[in-house]
Amino acid sequence: MRTLLRGNHEMRLMTTEASQVSDRPETNSKVGRLIQEYGIDGLGEDLEEYWTGEREEQFSLRELASYFNRQLLRRAMEEAGLNPIENEVESTYRLLTDDDVSEGVRIQRERRLERDGVDVEALESDFVSHQAVHTYLTKYRGASHDTDEETDQVGKSIETIQRLESRTEAVSENTVERLANSGELQIGDFDVLVDVRVLCQDCGTTHEIVDLLERGGCDCE
């Protein structure tokens, strides 16, 4: 079975314009690198077409991140000698990532995968966020939405928030790395996660802000 390797952490490319395309190879992004490492040909094109609406279905960035991670899970299971059907991949991914799943149930599924030969720790560290998908699509593939004026206002707001999140993440990563290198901070391999959430006081539901903007509001409305 092929061994999947990952670095200590990922530094994301920052640009002043969200639509600016990097002249570096796609593998400089986490999503592009994982597509190559897992050998999933055509997945980059799938992500772009699902996002821009070239397919019958159009996915949000959060849905694309989930779709991408499920493809990684499927490939990891296949490399371990398993032959998972779609429902099994969906169910396993939900048990590994859903906030509503109890810790005991999650651990039970992780141990089952480990017995089957899947490196669960490496796999879960490779799962990407919607921010990573957005960076890959816009800055490494040059993809964009064709939207009307109202939707474009939402899109611009999302891009602004994602730039700020990415900047916060990059500054935090640099700070932790600098302090760790100087011996002022003791830490092993690390990832910095930036997640801005909105609490609806009418129903008490918490939403990830980009997901809320893409859906157009809270379900209680």
Can you read off the two tokens belonging to residue 216?
A: 């157009």
**C-alpha distance from residue 220 to each of 9, 126, 217 (Å):** 38, 34, 8
Q: Is residue 5 part of a domain?
A: no
Residue 157, C-beta contacts closer than 8 angstroms, at least 6 positions apart? 213
Q: Is residue 159 part of a domain?
A: yes
Give residue 159's domain range: 26-215
Longest dimension (CA), the chain: 53
Which residue positions in the chain have pLDDT lower than 50? Answer: 1-22, 148-151
Domain count, the chain: 1
Instruction: Please tell me the predicted confidence (pLDDT) of residue 77.
Output: 96
Q: Is residue 71 part of a domain?
A: yes
Give residue for tokens 């669960």. Answer: 120
Q: Is residue 168 part of a domain?
A: yes
Can you read off the two tokens belonging to residue 72?
A: 């990684």
Q: Is residue 200 part of a domain?
A: yes
3-state class of 27 per DSSP? helix
Stated pTM of the model: 0.61
Q: State the Cα–Cα distance between residues 185 and 190, nearest whole angstrom.
A: 12
Q: State the Cα–Cα distance between residues 199 and 40, nearest whole angstrom.
A: 37
Instruction: Please tell me the predicted confidence (pLDDT) of residue 214.
Output: 78
The torsion of the CA quartet 102, 104, 109, 115, rounded to 10 degrees, works out to 170
The tens digit of pLDDT for each residue in 29-78 reads 899 999 999 999 999 999 999 998 888 788 888 899 999 999 999 999 99
Q: Is residue 43 part of a domain?
A: yes
Q: Is residue 14 part of a domain?
A: no
Query: CA 43: distance to chain centroid?
Result: 14
Instruction: Please tell me the predicted confidence (pLDDT) of residue 20.
Output: 44
Q: Is residue 2 part of a domain?
A: no
